[in-house]
Amino acid sequence: MQSQVSAKMINEVMEAIHEVPRMMADWDRHGLKEVRIHLGGFKSSRWPGAPNLVDYFDQRLKDYGWQES
């Protein structure tokens, strides 16, 4: 069984994440706060079962041992 995903949801995810690779490549000008702002643009509460991208990002940082100062 194939699940159906809304094109609008995909668009919202892409809007939230499309700048993140550029920010990571130019880390001197961008930081975690800016990444979180972009990821927060995707309102997962509007889409049942969708991940909260900020929480997901923060958990991955934690999993890799990142500690903010």
Q: What is the pLDDT of residues 20-58, one digit of tens each?
A: 999 989 888 888 999 999 999 999 999 998 999 999 999
* pTM recorded for the entire structure: 0.82
Per the CB < 8 A criterion, the answer to whether 49 and 27 are in contact is: no
Q: Is residue 2 part of a domain?
A: no
Q: Is residue 36 part of a domain?
A: yes
Structure tokens at 24: 């990571």
What is the predicted pLDDT for the residue at 1? 45
Residue 59 confidence (pLDDT) above 90:
yes
Per the CB < 8 A criterion, the answer to whether 20 and 39 are in contact is: yes
Q: Is residue 57 part of a domain?
A: yes
CA distances from 39 to 5, 33, 44, 58 (A): 19, 10, 10, 11
What is the predicted pLDDT for the residue at 67? 82
Q: How many domains does the chain have?
A: 1
Res. 69 pLDDT band, cuts 50 70 90: low
Q: Is residue 48 part of a domain?
A: yes
What is the predicted pLDDT for the residue at 2? 52
Q: Single out the residue of 68, 6, 10 nearest to residue 36, CA to CA.
A: 68
Q: Is residue 68 part of a domain?
A: no
Tell me which residue range forms the domain holding 16. Answer: 7-63
Considering only CA atoms, give the Rg of the chain.
14
